[in-house]
Copies of this chain bind each other. A is one copy, B any other.
């Protein structure tokens, strides 16, 4: 989709955990939490608070109140989307909950943009979040158990990002988007989600360039959601297979978020990973003029623990959002 009236990113905010704050972009986030509880009794409540406070902080930059926002489109990784649901309860904004696993930040930006370009809303917020310790105990093992990780595994980010979109205003614009299909190459290893998602990322990126008839070096940066080092290397091979020449200038939020020294294995992951990299360093660099055209391709692994126990492979999805300044 190419937008006739591209929605404007007039404000954004990010909140991250201590480990994410220690990474290379600590100074680019709005708020670094001192611990993982954020003043709450449980990690789950902390995660919901992160999302709520990120939304409030983003809209406060334009001196708006939650009541000024016409629609909240958000999602997270927790069962039944409780972080988003409880944040939406506190904010009291008309709410659409989405689940796209780690692709959620792109999905929420796309849905918001289409609804604004369609003329339904003038002010919306798109947001996503994840929390390392809630995801760990929901998807993997009790955190107390301290299970060893595979080198291909990724570290779920404790992070939230929110973007305020306005139909009129000053800032980067969402000019185009591509909604992905579910792609599944039969990968079953839940410790290697990057490989499961890379084919979906490559498929969506190829479709985006084809649909819009763009040269493959149109964007100053193409950034995938959270493929990590393993998935990013595979995506680069798939670009070659798909004949994307010249190769786009390419990176991955999962690789960017942490330092080599931080022992996060293949890299960061979780809805919050791409959300905070976008709402932290990427949009900041865009405003500073470091690049003008960004293709943000958040990627999601759409399995559940139950589907994996039942022998299913891991379906992947990727949605692409073109942001231009």
Q: Interface 1/0s, chain A 37-60, versus B by CB < 8 A?
A: 000011011000000000000000
Q: Point out the residues of chain B lying under 8 angstroms from A98, CB to CB.
A: 96-99
* Shortest distance between the CB of A109 and any CB in chain B (Å): 12
- A220 close to B (CB within 8 Å): no
- A78 close to B (CB within 8 Å): yes
The total of chain A residues at the interface (CB under 8 A) is 53
- Report Cα–Cα, A54/B10, bound state, in Å: 41
- A307 close to B (CB within 8 Å): yes
Q: Point out the residues of chain B lying under 8 angstroms from A317, CB to CB.
A: 85, 88, 95
Q: Is the interface of A mostly helix, strand, loop or mixed?
A: mixed
- Report Cα–Cα, A111/B98, bound state, in Å: 11
Q: Interface 1/0s, chain A 83-119, versus B by CB < 8 A?
A: 0011011001111111111000001001100110111
- A81 close to B (CB within 8 Å): yes
Of all chain B residues, the one with the shortest Cβ separation from A93 is B181
Q: Interface 1/0s, chain A 158-197, versus B by CB < 8 A?
A: 0000000000000000000001111110000000000000
- A237 close to B (CB within 8 Å): no
Q: Point out the residues of chain B lying under 8 angstroms from A302, CB to CB.
A: 80-82, 85-86, 89, 97
Number of chain copies forming the complex: 2
A79 touches B304 (CB 8 A): yes
- Report Cα–Cα, A303/B181, bound state, in Å: 29
* Shortest distance between the CB of A36 and any CB in chain B (Å): 15
- A312 close to B (CB within 8 Å): yes
Q: Point out the residues of chain B lying under 8 angstroms from A138, CB to CB.
A: 306
A96 touches B75 (CB 8 A): no
The 11 sampled A-B contact pairs (Cβ below 8 Å) are A75-B99, A80-B302, A85-B303, A86-B302, A86-B315, A95-B182, A95-B317, A96-B179, A97-B107, A111-B111, A114-B115
Q: Which 8 A-B pairs have the closest CB atoms?
A: A118-B118, A80-B304, A85-B302, A89-B182, A94-B179, A79-B79, A88-B182, A81-B99
